[in-house]
Amino acid sequence: MIELYTWTTPNGRKASVMLEEIGLPYRVHPINIGKGEQFTPEYVAINPNSKIPAIIDNEGPGGKPLRVFESGAILIYLAEKTGKLLSKEPRARIAALEWLMFQMGGVGPMFGQAHHFLRQAPEPMPYPSERYVKETRRLYGVMDKQLGTQPFLAGEYSIADIATYPWVARHGWHKVELPEFPNVDRWFKAISARPAVERGMNVPPTAA
Ligand SMILES: N[C@@H](CCC(=O)N[C@@H](CS)C(=O)NCC(=O)O)C(=O)O
């Protein structure tokens, strides 16, 4: 059994979508980041960075428990544990890792900053809002170009798509209309139609 520490946000949904896709049993432990539950000593022992998501695999390497934090590391760990969603063929594998790192270093932080300045700043802040919206749109352009040549970010459906999808699902928050980026739109619809994705995007339910 995998213990999943998560909340209703895009980084958390990467882990729950992955767990639904690979079909491993897991137990959800909601960590309400709005109430500061990520800062409790119990949770910091699991994720020293006080962010969701994190997992504990009770049947980790050698049959012993293993904790994993950072969503990208969680996706790689679960892919390698199950042999799913990360090719073992060297070229396909590095392509998937490239687009996973593109998400971790670009899409997540930049979209996240756009959301912060557009939605949470105490007063309108044009300079940072424009900076992060502009970079967000540039990243959509990069994805759109790539998805014009391949069905998924790294060719086959992979952990790179699972990492990116929950952030694109918040396109309304960063004021992007998906039809502006037709290849991203096609990719988004294809992933949205996957039953495992639908289930994982509801963990924990948004009203929780
Ligand atoms: N690089 C981390 C980022 C995780 C992250 O920023 N999680 C957010 C929710 S999407 C969080 O826990 N925020 C709480 C906080 O910043 O206090 C990862 O990918 O796991």
Ligand 1 atom with minimal separation from the 14 CA: 19
Q: Say whether 129 sits in a helix, a strand or coil.
A: helix
Q: Say whether 55 sits in a helix, a strand or coil.
A: strand
38 lines ligand 1 (CB under 6 A): yes
170 lines ligand 1 (CB under 6 A): no
With a CB cutoff of 8 Å and minimum separation 6, the contacts of 105 are none
166 lines ligand 1 (CB under 6 A): no
Tokens of 49: 């960075």
87 lines ligand 1 (CB under 6 A): no
Q: How confident is the model at residue 105 (pLDDT cuts 50, 70, 90)?
A: very high
Q: Say whether 66 sits in a helix, a strand or coil.
A: strand
> What is the residue with the minimal CA distance to atom 2 of ligand 1?
70
Query: Checking DSSP bridges between strand 26-30 and strand 66-69, what pairing results, if any?
Result: unpaired
Ligand 1 atom with minimal separation from the 7 CA: 9
| pLDDT one-digit tens code per residue, 144-189 | 999 999 999 999 999 999 999 999 999 999 999 999 999 999 999 9
Ligand 1 atom with minimal separation from the 69 CA: 20
Nearest to 3 by CA among 42, 49, 33: 42
| Res 110 pLDDT > 60 | yes
Residue 151: cis peptide before it, omega within 30 degrees of 0? no
Beta strands in the chain (DSSP E): 2-6, 26-30, 54-57, 66-69
| pLDDT one-digit tens code per residue, 164-173 | 999 999 999 9
Average pLDDT over the chain reads 97
| CA of residue 42 to ligand 1 center, whole Å | 17
| CA of residue 51 to ligand 1 center, whole Å | 4
Task: Give the per-residue pLDDT at 65.
Answer: 98
> pTM for the complete prediction?
0.97
Q: Specify the DSSP class assigned to residue 57.
A: E
> What is the residue with the minimal CA distance to atom 6 of ligand 1?
51
Task: Give the per-residue pLDDT at 19.
Answer: 98
Task: Give the per-residue pLDDT at 163.
Answer: 99
H/E element, 27: strand 26-30
Mutate to test the pocket of ligand 1, among 11, 46, 201 (most ligand atoms within 8 A of CB): 11
* Bigger pLDDT: 12 vs 206: 12
| Res 208 pLDDT > 60 | no
Task: Give the per-residue pLDDT at 206.
Answer: 87
Nearest to 153 by CA among 180, 179, 190, 178: 190
| pLDDT one-digit tens code per residue, 187-198 | 999 999 999 999
Q: What is the C-alpha to C-alpha distance for residues 81 and 108, in angstroms, rounded to an integer?
A: 24
> What is the residue with the minimal CA distance to atom 12 of ligand 1?
51
Tokens of 40: 């409790």
| pLDDT one-digit tens code per residue, 31-47 | 999 999 999 999 999 99
Q: How confident is the model at residue 106 (pLDDT cuts 50, 70, 90)?
A: very high
